[in-house]
Structures are given as structure tokens and as C-alpha cells.
Structure 1
Amino acid sequence: MWSRMVASVLVLVFLSSCPGIEPLPVEPDDDVFHMENYDLNTEIEWENMDVNVFGDDYDYDYLDQEDGKAPNTPLPATQPTARHYEEAITPTPAPVSLDFEGPGLFGPETGLGMPTCILCMCIGGSVYCDDMGLDQIPPLPKGTTHFYGRFNKLRHVKNTDFFNLNKLQSIDLTGNQISGMDEDVFHSLTQLQELLLADNNMQVLPELPVNLKRVDLRNNKLMSRGLHSEGFKDMSHLEFLYLSGNNLDYIPIPLPLSLKVLHLQDNNIQLLQEDTFCNQHDPNFIRRNLEDIRLDGNPLNINLFAQAYVCLPRLPVGNH
């Protein structure tokens, strides 16, 4: 309304200053002001004019409405922000389970302050922590069946690292710097079938679970006195035994009848006994399963121990 009033005054001033032009009669507008009492030749005193005709508390932005009237709805005290919308749509996090059986697969926190299955990768019952720079085995969910901790910086394995993991079937710690293990580290692992410890620095081997099917100890520093006496005797399910690249002086006997593969190359074995593979008290005894024996890379001439192979389906590979 105020802009209409000012525009009308300016038009009248312009017309009155032009010679020969009669100003058109203007109908008085009650909504603006009465023009018949206004002297066009009087200089408008803008500084003394009260432009705030609507009061100090009036919101002039409402005049942009088409009908020039303020809407009836009051402005909210606080305008909504992006944060309000985020809080409205952000769901409450579900509780985390330490089990593979539940919806959460994150496991307990490690020493790095991160849940195991965020630091590592968990797929089904398998936990993959390969090449993570770990210097200790992280706490594992109790439903773990296969653990892969290859190519880290592990030096010692404690008896608490696999405590209460009675579903664990496979441990692979290949390519670490392990030089020792607690003696009872594997005592509670009644389901363990694979133990892979290749490419470490072990000199002494702890007692092993009897249910193992595959043992890989290649490229360590194992010595014969670092093995338990008759340590493999009761392992009636053992099929694959890899002991190459160590410092063994003799073959660890007795060997279970279930054994299929025995790799002993690149050790320090110099002698074989007649009962290393066979039963000297039973000339009809045949070890049918053991078809792959590697003895090459030892200071041993296999031709000198012919009686040691008579019960085998195949001769060992070695130096002649």
C-alpha cells in the first residue's frame, strides 16, 4: 500500500512540472490518503514522514502476498533444520550380538578398539584377519569355525586366544613370526581338524589335538627334541603331515595308519629304522594309505634302507 501511495505522488509531481499539461483528476482513495488537501507545489519532507505506519512489530514480508494481507497462520518459533530431519529418520541401532547365530556379527572389541568383524571380515563362521598387521589374535566370536590370521606380526599364541571356541575346525597362521605357543593352547579345541603354521619361527611344538587331519609346519625351526615323544601316534584321523624345511634329525615315529602324505624334505635326517614305516614283527603288514613320502634334501641315501620300504605302496622320493 505504501508503494502505491509514493508512486501516485511522484506521478502528480512530474505532471505539474510539465508546462501545458493539465493533471488528470484523481479520485480520492480512502485506502491511501485524500489528495484534495495536498499542495503539489510543496516540497515533500521525507525525513519527517512517518513511514512506519503499521507499527514496529509488523512483519513487512507479509505484504508480498497477492491480496496484501498477512496470512492467519503464525510463523513457527523455530524453523526446522537438516539436523531435525536426520534425527527424525535415524533409526535406533539394534543391540549387537557376539554370536554368528544372531543378527549381529561384530564380536567383542579388540585391543584396537574395533569389533573383530569390522577390523576383520566375517563370512558365515569364517573370520579372515589376513595381512592386518596384528601382533595378537583378536577375540573371536564363539561361533567361529575357521580362523585365518595369515601374514601378520604374531609372535606368541596364548592359551586364552582360542578359549571356549568349541566349534573351531581350522586355524591358519601361515606367514607370521610365531616363535612359541602355550603348551595347552589347543586343549579345548575338540573339533579342530586343520592346523596350518607354515613359515614361522617355531622350535617347539605344543601338544596337538588328536582329531587333526592336516598339519602344516613347513619352514619353521623345529628340532626333533622340540616334538612330543610319540606325538602323532594317537592322531588316528591324520592324513597330511608337512614338516619340510625344519631342523629334524629323525622321522617322528610311530606314524598313524591314516597318514597319506608325509613331507620331510630339507631337514637333517640321516638314518631310517626298519619300523619307521613298517612293522618288523609282521612281515605281512602293508601300509596302504601312505603313497607320498618326500625325503629329498636330507643327508640320507634312501638306497641303504631298503627294508624300511617293503610295506609301502610306493618308494619315497629322496637322494640315491
Structure 2
Amino acid sequence: MRMLVRLVLGLIVLKAAVANPRFSRQVDLDTYDSANYDEDLNHLHLENHDIDDYEDSVIEIGTLTPPDYSYPVPEASLEEEALEEEEEVPLKPQFIPQGSDGSGVLMGPDTQKEEGLIPTSPTTPQEGTGGFEGSTGSGLPEPDKPDEPEEPEVDRQGMPTCLLCTCLGGSVYCDDLKLDSVPPLPKDTTHFYARYNRITKINKSDFAFMNKLKRIDLTANEITSIDDKAFTGLPELGELVIRENLISQLPALPETMTLIDASHNSISSRGIHKEAFKDMTSLLYLYLTDNSIDYIPVPLPDSLRSLHLQRNNIQMMHEDTFCNLKDFNYIRNALEDIRLDGNPINLSRTPQAYICLPRIPIGDLI
């Protein structure tokens, strides 16, 4: 009984499976594979044969010349090729003539290799000719060498001083202008500089009514004479520099002087006023180097610090030149710099003349 039931159930399951579409497709596939197996095998043999034939054909095709395709080239690429061709052009040797900062030799990358470029003659073109010896030249006349322009003569008469000179505040600078006289100065001038000119004379009117003038510097002119009252009307004048001129007489100076420099002139002892410096109670520096002075101009104010008389003609000195023989307690502390070297004087002959000084003068002590 059980066996019968199992048999019936198996038939039912089998029938249902046969009726399932998935089962039918699998049966078709199995049938297709078995039926076409032989065809696929034959087709595979044919393909292998075709591959062999293709390889033979490839070998034959490789020997053929590829087709020539001529496409239009863009203009930009043409320009680049032209530039490359220009860059590849070798430099040609050039001859640089002497006289144009050249050495008169050929220049170029292949100068030494190329034959016939270097001249066999060692001669070089003459400077200024522009060619080789024996050449005919350009045939053009050579321009005349221009002469150096001469310095124009400037008419300084009537020209405003601050246009001719340089005015900075109260200072007027007229250095190296080839002046032959003192120009009219502004009334508020405090410092006047006219160095390295051609001034020959100082007149009284040159500095008249210059109540603020404190310094005058006339170094290195050609002054031969100074009006004796040219500086006496200057109430503020403190410094006068007239060195390197041709002065033979020192003019009268106001008592306000602090510095006098008349070195490198032709001043003699007769050219200095008697007791010219006695009342200058503010005088600090007196420079009379390189003149023709015969003796030290006394009396000297107690304020004096520096006295330069080198290379004059001083032959003797008195014991009271600097000191007071009546007062042995008198000491001149300010006068520390006395220069007498270059004079025919023996300082050892007057030892009492220095007992009031803080330092012995510089000079010949033999």
C-alpha cells in the first residue's frame, strides 16, 4: 500500500516538473549543444585556417608603401619652421676695424677654419681712416674735428648778486666765478665767501652799511690793496680771511675780531699798524704765516689762544713779548699755541720770555 502511494506521488511530481518551462528550456539547450557540437568543431578548424592565411597576407601587406596623405599645414607651424631654419644658419665671420673699440681681427665661430678670411698682412687699418691700407676709401670728405667750445664770457655787470652767486639765508657764496670785484651784497648778509676769484682791490664802499656782516672770506684772489677803512664800519665783523693774496699792508680792523688769517701774503712789519691788536679783547686766532714780518706784533691781547708766525723773518724776541717783567705772578694761560718755526731766531737766548706761558713756543732752540 505504501509503495503504491509513493509511486503515485512520484508520477505527480514528475508530471509537474515536465510541465515547468525551466525544464523545457534546459532540454532544448542540451539538444542544441549535442546537435551543433560538430558544426562548432568544423567552424573552429576553418577559423584556424583563416588565421594562417591572414598572417601570410599581413607579411605581404607590410611590404607595400603607405599612402601619402597631404594635409594643409597651419601658418603658425610654418613660421616656427622658418624661425628654426634661421636659428640654424651659421654665423658669418665679420671684421671689426680698429678705432671702433675693436682689435682689427675677424670674429666668428669658424674664423680659424675657413681659409682666406684672415688677411695675411699683419697690418691693421689706421685709426680714423675706416679701411685697410691701400683701400680707396668711401670717397667722402672727412668732417673737420670740432674745436672745443670756449667758455663764454659772461657779462656780470649789473647782474643781481643772488642770481650770479648762491644765497642761502644770510650767507652769500660767490666762489670761483672769475669775479674782478666784490658784487653788491644784500643788506642782511652775515657771511660772504668769494674765494678763488680775480678780485684785485677792496674798496671802502664794497662793505659799506653791512651792519650784520660777521665773516668775510676772500681766499686765493689777486688782491694787492685794501682800503684802510674798508672793514672799520662793520660792527659785527668777527672773522676775516684774506690768505693767499698779494697784500703788503694789513688794514685797520674793528675791535670785535675773533679770527684774522692773512697768511701767504707779502705783509711786512711796516705793513701792520702799531698796537693793531691791543684792543681786540675777543681775538682768539691770529695767523700770519708765510709773510715778511721782522718781529712779533706786540702787545697781544690776553684772549689770544693761537699765534702762527711760521716762515717769516723774525730774528729776535724781547723778554716782555708775552710776559710782564714787573709782575712775576702774571700767567698767560690762554696762549697755548705759538709757532715760530722757520724763522731765523734762537729761542734759547730769551728764556725769561716764556715763564708766564703754559707751553714753550715751537721753533729753533739752539
TM tier, smaller: 0.5 to 0.7
What are the residue-to-residue correspondences of 1:1-320 with 2, within 5 Å?
A: 111-320=156-365
> After the TM superposition, which segments of 4 or more aligned residues of structure 1 sit over 6 Å from their partners?
none
Kept in 1, the 8 Å contact 2:281–2:301? The answer is yes
Structure 1: tracts of 5 or more residues without a match = 1-109
RMSD of equivalent CA atoms? 0.9
Could you report, residue by residue, the CA deviation over 1:259-289 in whole angstroms, capped at 9, with x for unpaired residues? 0000001000000001110011111100000
2 CA distance for matches of 1:237 and 1:162?
A: 22
Query: Match of 1:241, SS?
Result: strand
What is the aligned-residue identity percentage? 55
Q: Contact between 1:111 and 1:138, CA under 8 Å: does it hold in 2?
A: no
Measured against aligned partners, the alpha-carbon deviations of 1:128-158 in whole angstroms (never above 9, x if no partner) come to: 0001000000000000000001110011100
Residue 329 of structure 2: SS of its match in structure 1? coil
Name the structure, 1 or 2, with higher relative contact order (CA <8 Å, separation 6+). 1
* CA deviation after TM superposition for structure 1 residue 111, in Å: 4.9
Partners of 2:209 and 2:280 in 1: CA distance: 22
Q: Report the Cα distance in structure 1 between the residues aligned to 2:197 and 2:165, rounded to whole angstroms.
A: 12
TM-score (norm 2): 0.57
Give the distance between the partners of 2:174 and 2:320, measured in 1 at CA: 43
Instruction: Name the SS of the counterpart of 1:225 in structure 2.
Output: helix
For 1:244, give the aligned amino acid: T
CA distance in structure 2 between the partners assigned to 1:163 and 1:124 by the alignment? 20
Query: Does the 8 Å CA contact 1:262/1:294 hold for their aligned counterparts?
Result: yes
- Between the aligned partners of 2:156 and 2:168, the Cα distance in structure 1 is 22
Q: Measure the CA separation in 2 of the matches of 1:259 and 1:300.
A: 22
**Aligned match of 2:140:** none
How far apart are the structure 2 equivalents of 1:153 and 1:111? 13
* Conservation of the 8 A alpha-carbon contact between 1:205 and 1:228: yes
Does the 8 A contact of 1:136 with 1:154 survive in 2?
Answer: yes
Q: Deviations over 1:1-32 (max 9, x none)?
A: xxxxxxxxxxxxxxxxxxxxxxxxxxxxxxxx
The 1-side partners of 2:307 and 2:316 are apart by 16
Residue aligned with 1:112, SS? coil
Name the amino acid aligned to 1:300: I
Please tell me the residue identity of whatever aligns with 1:215: I
Name the CA distance, whole Å, in 2 between partners of 1:298 and 1:218.
Answer: 15
* One-letter code aligned to 1:184: K
How many corresponding residue pairs? 211
Letter in 2 for 1:225: R
**Are the aligned partners of 2:167 and 2:173 in contact in 1 as well (CA < 8 Å)?**
yes
SS at match of 1:160: helix
What TM-score, normalized by structure 1, do the two folds share?
0.65
Q: For residue 309 of structure 1, what is the amino acid of its counterpart?
A: Y
